[in-house]
Amino acid sequence: MFQSLLPFYSFPVFFAKICLVAVLLVCIRGALWFINMLLLQPFFDPLRHLPGPDGALLQSHLQQVMDPVLSTNTYVEWRKRFGRTFRFNGFGKLLMKDLQHDYRLMTFDPRAIQHVLSDTAFEKPWQTRSFMSRLIGRGVRSALWNISYSLNIYFLGIFSMEGKEHDMQRKIVHSAFTPRSVKNMTPLFFQKAEELQECWKNILDEHISPQTKTSPSASMLAGPVAETVIDVAHWISRASFDIIGLTGFNYDFHSIRDESEPVYTAYRRMFNIADKGLNLRQILDLYFPILRTIWPNDDIRETNESLRVIKKAGEQILAERKTAVQVAVANGDEGNESDLLFLLIKSNMSNDPSARLTDQELLDQCSTFFMAGSDSVAVALSWCFHLLSLNPDIQTRLRDEINGISHISDGDISDSSTDSGFHDCDICRPEPPFLAKPAYPRRCRHLPRWEAVENLQYLDAVVRETLRFCPPVHGTIRVATENAKIPLSRPVTLFDGSTIASGRINFARKDCHLTVRKGSYVHIPIEGWNLSEDVWGRDALVFNPGRWLKSYYEPSYKLGPSNLMTFGYGHQSCLGYKFTLAEIKIFIATLLPHFEFKPADGVPISKFNTILTRPFVSGKWSAGTQLPIMVREIK
């Protein structure tokens, strides 16, 4: 047939015509997409009625919202201009095959936040889960992802689960975070805090001037004997890795002393890669995960290698912990083991067989603990030392309080394991809300040492204020999986002057709730909530631990533990809240009496968002997270 056409159409003409038709088709498709994206979609999006910042439809406001250097002012300004609930532009979302117009909702309204974080119609976006899944979870349903999944090694942690799978895992994992489990871990926190203290002391010993070394009496007169700049974030990160290794699965990385342990190195390399954030290649990988297999780059190869090391070690550890559970159950002394994997295996064994986690899923939970529980605590603790270094008066007052503990004895865990008399401390207390506490009743069954630290009110205030002021997780996002309604606690005035009333969702009326379309993103500004004047008063932007000491602290709203959004809210909120408080308090109580912290000269510190909001030296982003602080030994 083609042969018969050729006399009429020379090949170049024929080819040119085909090209012309193809170009025309692409142009028509482009024009349709443009009309749909810029005119139709925004027109039918209910969020268009909400007030929000100006900007062309293709202009994104994401940097203003997500960059912690800009976000604090952005929130303050937008809230002044638009109220508690408004919309802004994302960067376009890829739904089905099309890049779609992307109005996003941001809300500071407690009822709306409560609803979005509790209602199963809202899930973590698959992009977030897919990004995390590379490290800790599955949970994404795209066909391409599944092909890639079958070719790679993925973890199946609770973080990337939704729906029933999530509920089932949460029930089992939750059982490893009971007050008693956390209490039993506190000796390990002390052990590692003391190791870190010793390491810092050794570093400082190298900086003692010869004169002071030969003259102990002079050093006593002079007070502090040595000082140097220490990258506090780096050391604390090593310590919290050790802690999560021990508390997670009874495995000591010894990374405070030596960073060369292979599993530690594997995790560290993998997290460092994840911390680079989303670059173009990673965005491509998200949408076309098969690329990771057919066109791996250095980061992907390194991540795969790390995952292999972790998997191999994990299998060995799992086998060892399973044997430990069997022996403990047979001997009836299960109460003495405190690592999360042990508790998970035990809880899994007592679960309905059909709902039990597989070995792989058990290991995945441990990787989840690593991902969720090591650097997050380290970052919070680092910010705490940073804030103390900037506020010498607060630092001195806190040190005086800690030094005022008359005696901290090393308790015996077994002494404290009787079941009577739980008292109202953070570890024992079943749930928030937090009210600034009077002195705790003295019926605690905790270790005497932990009890002493736990009872320090100013320490408690400093830790909570740090978690409010510098939340390690900057914000969270949910996506509507169906057209959904969101109730409000305050009315919202729309662009056209009409109002959406506050109150419960009223299905009979349209003006009693917000409506969002399937696929719309809702941003929950964790940092924004924590720094909101509506919630915390006019000094919301000031670091003021004293706010927690008022005899009766009653915030206007209650969302999350201590009314902090730091740990999220609802059925996917943080399981490690009490664990975190205990670890941070113990590290501060151990280190502060021995060291004084001052800002290092000429080293400005800024926040930078990777997965967590980390400290960086301003202008030196490529050097990675750092927190150089001048540390001086106190003799």
Q: Which is nearer to ligand HEM, 219 or 466 (CB)?
A: 466
Range in contact with ligand HEM (rule: CB under 6 A) among 130-138, 327-335, 513-521, 574-582: 574-582
Q: DSSP class of residue 470?
A: S
Task: Give CA angle at 126 (125, 132), nearest 5°.
Answer: 100
Query: Across the beta sheet with 85-89, what order do the strands follow?
Result: 85-89, 103-107, 521-524, 476-480, 122-123
Q: Which is nearer to ligand HEM, 116 or 204 (CB)?
A: 116
Shortest Cβ 160–ligand HEM spacing (Å)? 9
**Total binding residues for ligand HEM by CB under 6 A?**
26
Residue selected from 572, 590, 613, 625 as contacting ligand HEM according to rule CB under 6 A:
572
HSE-up (13 A, CA, CB side) for residue 419: 1
Shortest Cβ 170–ligand HEM spacing (Å)? 4
Shortest Cβ 625–ligand HEM spacing (Å)? 15
Q: Classify the C-alpha dihedral 160-165-171-176 as positive or negative.
A: negative
- Give the relative orientation of helices 359-373 and 340-349 as an angle to the nearest 10 degrees: 140
User: Using the rule CB under 6 A, is 113 a contact of ligand HEM?
Assistant: no
Residue selected from 270, 363, 473, 492 as contacting ligand HEM according to rule CB under 6 A:
473
CB nearest ligand HEM: which residue? 576
Q: Classify the C-alpha dihedral 176-193-424-373 as positive or negative.
A: negative
Q: CA 247 to CA 251: how far, in whole Å?
A: 8
HSE-up (13 A, CA, CB side) for residue 522: 31
Nearest one of 532, 628, 517 to 107, comparing CA atoms:
532
Range in contact with ligand HEM (rule: CB under 6 A) among 284-292, 466-474, 541-549, 621-629: 466-474
Shortest Cβ 117–ligand HEM spacing (Å)? 7
User: Using the rule CB under 6 A, is 159 a contact of ligand HEM?
Assistant: yes
Phi-psi region of 54 (alpha: psi -120 to 50; beta: other; left: phi over 0): beta
> ω into residue 433 within 30 of 0, thus cis?
yes
Shortest Cβ 370–ligand HEM spacing (Å)? 8
Q: Which is nearer to ligand HEM, 300 or 378 (CB)?
A: 378
Is 568 in contact with 596 (CB distance < 8 Å)?
no
Q: Which is nearer to ligand HEM, 464 or 594 (CB)?
A: 464
Is 403 in contact with 593 (CB distance < 8 Å)?
yes
Binding mask 512-551 for ligand HEM (x = CB under 6 A): ----------------------------------------
Range in contact with ligand HEM (rule: CB under 6 A) among 35-43, 543-551, 563-571, 585-593: 563-571
Q: Classify the C-alpha dihedral 343-345-351-355 as positive or negative.
A: positive
Residue 227 sits at φ, ψ, to 5 deg, of -150, 150
User: Using the rule CB under 6 A, is 234 a contact of ligand HEM?
Assistant: no
Q: Which is nearer to ligand HEM, 37 or 591 (CB)?
A: 591
Q: Please name the residues in contact with 617: beta carbons below 8 A apart, sequence gap of 6 or more.
A: 603, 604, 605, 606, 623, 626, 628
Residues 370-409 touching ligand HEM, rule: CB under 6 A, are 372-373, 376-377, 380
Helix, strand or coil, per DSSP, at residue 206: coil
Shortest Cβ 536–ligand HEM spacing (Å)? 18
Q: Which is nearer to ligand HEM, 168 or 428 (CB)?
A: 168
Residue selected from 338, 368, 544, 625 as contacting ligand HEM according to rule CB under 6 A:
368
Residue selected from 579, 587, 595, 597 as contacting ligand HEM according to rule CB under 6 A:
579
Shortest Cβ 161–ligand HEM spacing (Å)? 7
Q: CA 465 to CA 396: how far, in whole Å?
A: 16
Q: Which is nearer to ligand HEM, 71 or 219 (CB)?
A: 71
- With tokens 């029933």, the residue in question is 164
Shortest Cβ 337–ligand HEM spacing (Å)? 16
Range in contact with ligand HEM (rule: CB under 6 A) among 85-93, 281-289, 369-377, 437-445: 369-377
The H or E element that residue 201 is part of is helix 179-205
Residue selected from 110, 314, 472, 487 as contacting ligand HEM according to rule CB under 6 A:
472
Distances (CA, A) of 169 to 173, 298, 357, 565: 6, 33, 8, 23
Is 309 in contact with 262 (CB distance < 8 Å)?
yes
Q: CA 274 to CA 128: how far, in whole Å?
A: 12
Residue selected from 580, 610, 613, 625 as contacting ligand HEM according to rule CB under 6 A:
580
Is 502 in contact with 464 (CB distance < 8 Å)?
no
Would you say 366 is a known binding-site residue? no
Distances (CA, A) of 595 to 166, 237, 633: 43, 18, 5
Shortest Cβ 159–ligand HEM spacing (Å)? 5
User: Using the rule CB under 6 A, is 458 a contact of ligand HEM?
Assistant: no
Q: Which is nearer to ligand HEM, 292 or 474 (CB)?
A: 474
Binding mask 122-151 for ligand HEM (x = CB under 6 A): --x---------------------------
- Bridge partners (DSSP) of residue 208 are 226
Residue selected from 48, 53, 76, 170 as contacting ligand HEM according to rule CB under 6 A:
170
Is 502 in contact with 489 (CB distance < 8 Å)?
yes
Residue selected from 108, 190, 521, 567 as contacting ligand HEM according to rule CB under 6 A:
567
Range in contact with ligand HEM (rule: CB under 6 A) among 27-35, 102-110, 457-465, 560-568: 560-568
Shortest Cβ 391–ligand HEM spacing (Å)? 20
Range in contact with ligand HEM (rule: CB under 6 A) among 11-19, 180-188, 308-316, 366-374: 366-374
Q: CA 217 to CA 122: how far, in whole Å?
A: 65
Instruction: Provide the residue count of the chain.
Output: 635
Range in contact with ligand HEM (rule: CB under 6 A) among 64-72, 270-278, 412-420, 576-584: 576-584
Is 385 in contact with 173 (CB distance < 8 Å)?
no
Shortest Cβ 122–ligand HEM spacing (Å)? 10
User: Using the rule CB under 6 A, is 158 a contact of ligand HEM?
Assistant: yes
- Binding site for heme: residue ranges? 574
- Binding site: residue ranges? 574
Site residues, ligand HEM (CB under 6 A): 124, 158-159, 170, 173, 368-369, 372-373, 376-377, 380, 471-473, 476, 566-568, 572-576, 579-580
